Structure 1
Amino acid sequence: MIDPDRPLLFLDVDGPLIPFGDPPPGGYPTYRSPYAPSGATPAGNPLIARVDPELGPRLLRLPAEPVWATTWLEDANECLAPWLGLPRLPVVDWPVDDTDTPDWPDGPDGLHWKTRALVEWADGRPFAWVDDEITEADDRWVTAHSPARTLLHRVDPRRGLTEADFTTLDTWLRTV
């Protein structure tokens, strides 16, 4: 249930939660989840083992209502939420075509295809958006079109969410 008095926290999966790209020296760390049955990898997806399960409790401690803002759609609740010890979260339902590809092209001047939909979904509520593809074009557009305070926070996809990211999010969310 969404609490209208709290800001929203839009969460992308690939990049912020599942690091990808050039691996660090020694490769990506992998984890076993204390929340998943027997620590098993949900749905047999080996990339989920890259997700530190301790991100779940940290996300829940942030003063915001988390919402999946990912092309994983409801799969984020089926596969990732149990791994992270999260409850079922609301999901931004993107229009997709038959190949599960978002049905919206990027906007003018590099505007991300998610940007307009997230402002619409927030419906005037303050929000933070965590993604690895956010650009200055998105920030400018959201500033011009959202009546509420917003934070567009770009995460390095090679590292995923870090301590510095959580500090930035927590500080901003507590000022809203």
Structure 2
Amino acid sequence: MAQRENSWWQRHKFKLNGLVLILPFWFLYESMNMTFPAALPQQQVGPFTVTPSPLTNKAPYQHDGDWVKDFMLQFCDDCVPQIRQAYMTIAAEQPSLEQFAEAHLGILHGDNHMQHVHALVQSPTAANQKLWLLIEDWQGEQHIASWEFTLPQS
């Protein structure tokens, strides 16, 4: 039988196994107890009531070469089926429908309870920007709203 040297590594390597077994529980706890930033004020956008909430307090990030920030939008009951398409962006001035529609990132998606959007950020370092939401219903009417929003800096 081979003799092992009684080194520090031989005496303590089993503790690494214990750490590997404990870490998943830490990440499970973190994922089950998420905290979100405060929601922006609720607004009436045409016939729709909308409450946007940023998902994190982090600065915008790059996605497919564009700068985006993630938001969750809560609509009034039975409002989502009445929406044909909706776009969100962060810019200093109100964009046109063509500017909204040129990028696929600003399109709202989700289910009847909650919509998610990767809001396109025109300039991640500019000050005095607004959060713009354009909603088009099935009759072709467009409704635009904006919220005062300060981008967090990294």
Short-chain TM bin: under 0.3
Kindly indicate which of the two structures has a greater share of residues assigned to strand. 2
Task: Name the TM-score, length of structure 2 as normaliser.
Answer: 0.27
Q: Which has the larger radius of gyration?
A: 2
Q: Higher relative CO (CA 8 A, sep ≥ 6), structure 1 or 2?
A: 1
Greater share of residues in helix: 1
